[in-house]
């Protein structure tokens, strides 16, 4: 009886440990802000929130195979469009993935850069 009690405590501790590990390993969930979604819809009518979520996934998963992600505000829009054209084949993106990535990056950039100069 005593042994069983101890095993149960050990089990409880183990379970606890496991669940806290899972929690810390999970990446921060991204969801577009209302502002970003509005900006995206302005440019590309009909854009769905899920496209931006997928664009973010493509950026963080497929575009980090050779280098880390660049901050979106680092480059002009023109430079981003050029780089996306150059990099999409390197990351083996489908045309649909490339579109989602473009929508994500440019609308995110719009939320950070308050400038008329692009």
Give contact residues for ligand HEC (rule: CB under 6 A): 62-63, 65-67, 70, 83-84, 87-88, 90-91, 93, 101
Q: How far is the CB of 110 from ligand HEC (least distance, A)?
A: 16
CA–CA separation, 44 and 32 (whole Å): 15
Cβ closest to ligand HEC, residue 3 vs residue 94: 94
CA–CA separation, 36 and 104 (whole Å): 9
Q: How far is the CB of 108 from ligand HEC (least distance, A)?
A: 12
Rg (CA), the chain: 21
CA–CA separation, 105 and 66 (whole Å): 18
Cβ closest to ligand HEC, residue 38 vs residue 81: 81
């Amino acid at each position: 009886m005593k042994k069983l009690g101890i095993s149960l405590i050990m089990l409880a501790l183990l379970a606890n440990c496991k669940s806290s590990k899972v929690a810390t390993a999970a990446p921060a969930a991204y969801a577009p802000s209302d502002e970003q979604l509005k900006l995206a819809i302005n440019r590309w009518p009909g854009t769905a929130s899920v496209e931006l979520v997928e664009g973010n996934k493509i950026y963080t998963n497929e575009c980090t195979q050779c280098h880390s992600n660049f901050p979106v505000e680092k480059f002009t829009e023109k430079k981003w469009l050029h780089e996306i054209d150059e990099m999409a084949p390197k990351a083996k993106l489908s045309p649909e993935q490339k579109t989602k990535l473009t929508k994500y990056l440019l609308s995110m950039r719009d939320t950070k850069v308050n400038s008329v100069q692009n």
